[in-house]
A and B are shown apart, each in its own frame.
Chain A
Amino acid sequence: MTIKLGRVLLTVLAIVLSIVWAFPVYWMVNSAFISNAVLQQFTPHFFPGEDFTTSNFAGAISDGSFFGALGMSVSITLIVVFFCLIFAFLGAVAISRFKFRGRKTFVLALLLIQMLPAEGLFIAQYKMMSSVGLLNSIVGVSVIYIAAVIPFTIWMLRGFVAGVPAELEEAAMVDGLSRFQAFMRITFPLLAPGLVASGVYAFLQAWNEFTVAVVLLPAEAAQTLPLWLRGFVQASATRETDWGQVMAASTIVAVPVIIFFLLVQGRMTSGIVGGAVKG
């Protein structure tokens, strides 16, 4: 009897905590569909109900800078994903298929680099880019992002490459394929899920990045979507905020990310905590 009661209480607790955790996301979407006039009333509206409107989205986009920011974010993200996948794939093959002098140092360097905070380097990166005229440029920020994302993508892909037994390749080589052919025909197709997961990881990093973007893209014409969103927050300090519009802007930034994130979440957790969780 007591066990059953305990179980019910725990279930109730789990539901309550689910509501607490999901609430900010819910509140963002909810506010995005309510007009500012209604949001400014004293009593909050917990459901859009009759006040449902999509005008906030039109308003958020209409200020003109949205499509520029979208273009910047898409270009940077595509460049970063493309180069990261190629570079990281080659690097992952090197460390998981070959023994070579310096391998251990390389792996150690990757892991340490991955820990470096952007805050500890962004002033130097700012000076470097400004001295070669690459502030406010897609190229400048992409170079920094690629360097920042590569270590973890190599580490993640390494697991996938090592997961394909080398014996498979060797068998194919016995059957007369060259090592390169064996790799491309046998191992490469088995790596597709790993490449997808790594690509999505690179996408999320580049798409969401804020810190380096603040420093390297100071011009309004060069802002990415997170900086575009920041424009709304900065404006809120000086004038009456249109919270409906701000939440519509947040929703626009967040929704594609949430969808992609749900696709790769499991891979990322196990990549980060490595062998501590035996899967």
Chain B
Amino acid sequence: MSTNTSGGRIAPRRTGGIPYYLIVPAVIALLLGLGYPLVWQFITAFQDYGLAQQFGKPPEWVGFDNFANLVWDGEFWAVLGRSLLFCVVTAFSTVVIGVLLALLMNAVGKAARLILQISMLLAWAMPVAAATTVFIWLFDRRRGVVNYLLDMLPGVDMNRYDWLGNPLTFFMVASILIVWMSVPFVAFAVYAGLTQVSDEVMEAAQIDGANAWQRFWRIIGPIIRPVLSIVLLLQLIWDLRVFAQITLLKDAGSKSGDFDLLGTYIYKLGASANDFGMASAVSIVVLIITLAISWVYVRDLIKEDEGR
């Protein structure tokens, strides 16, 4: 991409209202699809908005009651804790595995690298609904190939093991699925960073007596650090939004609340229980967490934008 071309805007002469006219359609679309719901949600989070309001009763202002209810709600804390833990474990696993794969791509010959890249692209390209469905089949209790292969290991009895039946293994499957889907992006981004490390520098370091470990930390590390921090932030944000995967895995497994993460929990509060006040309050918690994590990423992108 042409991130380092001078490009340049045309000097601000006689522009008048043109740029404003240009952004009007996008702004209207954003206000309609996101702005209005966002405002509605902020208002509703401070209202008692339940089933009665569905049938026309005006909602009542209740101040911070919905949030106070959340603070005293054991299930909310359980879901929040589970979601954050799931998010952090999955995001870090993704980044570590992604970096290792990028290093491997960098170390092997052209042919092996191409094969690795093609299979990564296949995994990356899979639509989330299809990928989750395939994983349900892979981990199927009766005829899943995972149980079959594990069962072949000596001393392991995994015949008919019900992966989706208890929360721990359920979230393990979800995590493996998400790591599988997300590692390719990390691997490609980091690999692109690694190609910036010139062979001459590495050779010079080697001649000067730096071992592989030192070369990794002293030369490669600083060069790929900006990419690493961005992909880690993005993974943290993306691994909070796993509604699709969790919903489909729950479809195939258990409906119990022990398998909920924030997305499915909000859906249950809103669409199933019709408690829109509470659903809005939890949504706002999710938005705040996301914005807090994104801020760092957005600040970096803005800096880059100004630097062009």
Contact = CB atoms under 8 A, between A and B. Distances in A.
B296 to A, nearest CB: 11
Given A100-B20, A112-B298, A28 B120 contact: no
A15 interface: yes
Given A211-B243, A226-B127, A128 B25 contact: no
B4 A87 contact: no
A123 B11 CA distance: 44
A207 B120 CA distance: 21
Contact of A163 (B2, B29, B134): B2
A261 B300 CA distance: 27
Contacts of B175: none
Contacts of B231: 273
A150 B130 contact: no
B122 A22 contact: yes
Given A10-B104, A108-B302, A215 B267 contact: yes
A150 B30 contact: yes
B188 interface: yes
Contact of B241 (A87, A118, A262, A279): A118
B204 interface: no
Nearest to B247: A214
A121 to B, nearest CB: 5
* Contact-residue size bin, chain A (C-beta under 8 Å from the other chain): 35 or more
Given A159-B1, A159-B2, A272-B234, A87 B26 contact: yes
B127 A254 contact: yes
B19 interface: yes
A237 interface: yes
Contacts of B116: 14, 17-18, 21
B88 interface: no
B162 to A, nearest CB: 12
A233 B9 contact: no
Interface string B133-177: 111111010010100100000000000000000000000000000
B203 to A, nearest CB: 14
A88 B27 CA distance: 10
B220 interface: no
- Taking chain A's interface residues, is the majority helix, strand, or loop, or is none over half, making it mixed? helix
Contact of A166 (B10, B33, B134, B263): B10
Given A97-B9, A116-B287, A126-B270, A234 B121 contact: no
B255 to A, nearest CB: 9
Contacts of A86: 25
B209 interface: no
Contacts of B132: 233
A265 interface: yes
Interface residues of B, number: 118
Interface string B210-236: 000000000000000011001100100
Nearest to B195: A277
B6 to A, nearest CB: 7
Interface of B: 1-12, 15, 18-20, 22-23, 25-27, 29-30, 32-34, 36-38, 40-41, 44, 101, 104-105, 107-109, 112-113, 115-116, 118-138, 140, 143, 145, 148, 180, 183-185, 188-189, 192-193, 196, 226-227, 230-231, 234, 237, 240-241, 243-244, 247-248, 251-253, 262-263, 266-267, 269-271, 276, 279-280, 283-284, 286-287, 290-291, 293-294, 297-298, 300-302, 304-305, 307-308
27 contacts: A14-B104, A17-B101, A22-B122, A100-B19, A104-B302, A111-B294, A111-B298, A112-B291, A118-B243, A120-B283, A120-B286, A121-B34, A121-B37, A122-B270, A147-B32, A162-B2, A210-B128, A226-B127, A229-B130, A230-B129, A230-B251, A233-B136, A233-B251, A269-B192, A274-B230, A276-B300, A277-B192
